[in-house]
Amino acid sequence: MEIKRNRAQLSALQSQINPHFLFNSLETIRIRSLMKEEKETANIIHNMAKIFRNSLTWGKDMVTVRSEVNLLISFLEIQKYRFGDKLDYEIDIDQAAEECMIPNMALQPFIENASIHGIESIKDNGKINVKISVNQDILTCIVMDNGAGMSEEKKERLLRSLENEEDIGESVGIKNVYYRLKLYYQDQFHFHFHIDSELGKGTTIIINLPSQTGNRQEKTEISENKLYFTK
């Protein structure tokens, strides 16, 4: 009965918010902004629409690193619009890593956490660095910020909470990603998750995954030569 009730509530919510209607509305606003030469507004709406479109294809479990990075850039561009000169970012991808497959939205929650909890609360300018590389059969993803960081006690509490799957509590996005990664890679030796953080000095997330490549080529907005993106 509880499952049926939850499904009924979800169906009601979906009927109230038609995702295709919202996506098409964003696109209309973007086009009108371009017609009025409001290019900055149009660019932000375009990035919001790309993130929203990704949520419509949530059933796609695995994506290329290229595709995931496109999503990260869209999110970071929106954050730059919010924070202005307070936020800079840099994305560095090994060419060999571009076609590796990773779970959809495996990195975006860490970028969101870095910008909102790391950068937003500091007075000085913040920077987020993303580095993705592959060495033999190991894909390494690093997300680093120079934001607020966290105390050793808070970090240890977060790490302990990751092992308690029944306690979602805080840091929902990070826990969601961690649980999904465990489901995908729990039997594979190369899965490794590490947090390094110091209060007032920022946070670094390091994720090692088995490198896997897909057979199909995905259409992407990153050119073949643009493996290094900074803004």
- Output the domain CATH number for residue 100: 3.30.565.10
Task: Say what the pLDDT of residue 86 is.
Answer: 84
Q: Average pLDDT in the 68-92 region?
A: 87
| Rounded Cα distance, 2 and 157, in Å | 32
Q: Which residues contact 157 (CB under 8 A, 6 or more apart)?
A: none
Phi, psi of 167 (to 5 degrees): -110, 95
| pLDDT higher than 50, residue 202 | yes
Asked if 64 contacts 101 with a C-beta cutoff of 8 angstroms, the reply is yes
As a whole-number percent, the residues of the chain with pLDDT over 70 amount to: 74
Query: pTM of this prediction?
Result: 0.72
Query: How many other C-beta atoms lie within 10 A of the C-beta of residue 90?
Result: 15
Instruction: Give the number of domains in the chain.
Output: 1
Name the band, by pLDDT with cuts 50, 70 and 90, for residue 167.
low
Residue 12 covered by a domain: no
Number of Cα atoms under 13 Å in the Cβ half of residue 3: 0
Out of 31-35, 36-40, 68-72, 185-189, the most confident range is: 68-72
Q: Average pLDDT in the 135-143 region?
A: 92
Helix (H/G/I), strand (E/B), else coil: 129: strand
Residue 165 covered by a domain: yes
H helices of the chain, in order, are 2-16, 19-35, 39-56, 65-83, 108-113, 152-162, 172-185
Name the band, by pLDDT with cuts 50, 70 and 90, for residue 123.
confident
Nearest to 209 by CA among 97, 127, 114: 97
Residue 100 covered by a domain: yes
Residue 104 covered by a domain: yes
Residue 52 covered by a domain: no
Nearest to 193 by CA among 211, 212, 177: 177
Residue 84 covered by a domain: yes
Residue 108 covered by a domain: yes
Name the band, by pLDDT with cuts 50, 70 and 90, for residue 55.
low
Q: Does 29 or 133 have the greater pLDDT score?
A: 133
Q: Average pLDDT in the 5-17 region?
A: 56
CB crowding 115-130: b at 16 or more within 10 Å, else e: bebbbbebeeebbbbb
Task: Say what the pLDDT of residue 209 is.
Answer: 92
Name the band, by pLDDT with cuts 50, 70 and 90, for residue 128.
very high
Residue 15 covered by a domain: no
- The region of weakest confidence among 5-14, 32-41, 143-152 is 5-14
Q: Which residues form the domain of 186?
A: 57-230
Task: Say what the pLDDT of residue 144 is.
Answer: 94
| Rounded Cα distance, 220 and 211, in Å | 20
